[in-house]
Amino acid sequence: MSPIGSSADNAAAESFNATFKRETLQGRRAFTNEREARLTAFGWLHRYNTIRRHSRLGQRSPIAYENSIRPTSTTLAPAA
């Protein structure tokens, strides 16, 4: 954490917000209603959290990254 009032405090949030704006709002004039805006935001968030590749994850999607570090088992573990 940096000193109070430093712009570095919100670097991750600012990066996320900039990506959201760039990928959903750039070149768009306006939404026709609130529902359309919400659906667009939800669709983008779903894609961002499941499909979109992230540089922090080695250019893998969050799902691919999770599967690579914690493969699912097809059988139940025996009770201890």
pLDDT higher for 36 or 80? 36
The confidence band for 80, taking pLDDT boundaries of 50, 70 and 90, is low
What pLDDT does 7 receive?
A: 64
Q: Domain locations in the chain?
A: 34-70
What pLDDT does 3 receive?
A: 62
Q: Which tokens sit at 50?
A: 């499941």
Q: Calculate the CA dihedral of residues 71, 59, 21, 14 and round it to 10 degrees.
A: 90
The CA-atom distances, in angstroms, between 41 and each of 25, 45, 48, 67, 76 are: 10, 6, 10, 26, 38
What pLDDT does 69 receive?
A: 84
Q: What is the pLDDT of residues 8-65, one digit of tens each?
A: 678 878 888 898 999 998 888 899 999 999 999 999 999 888 888 888 888 888 888 8
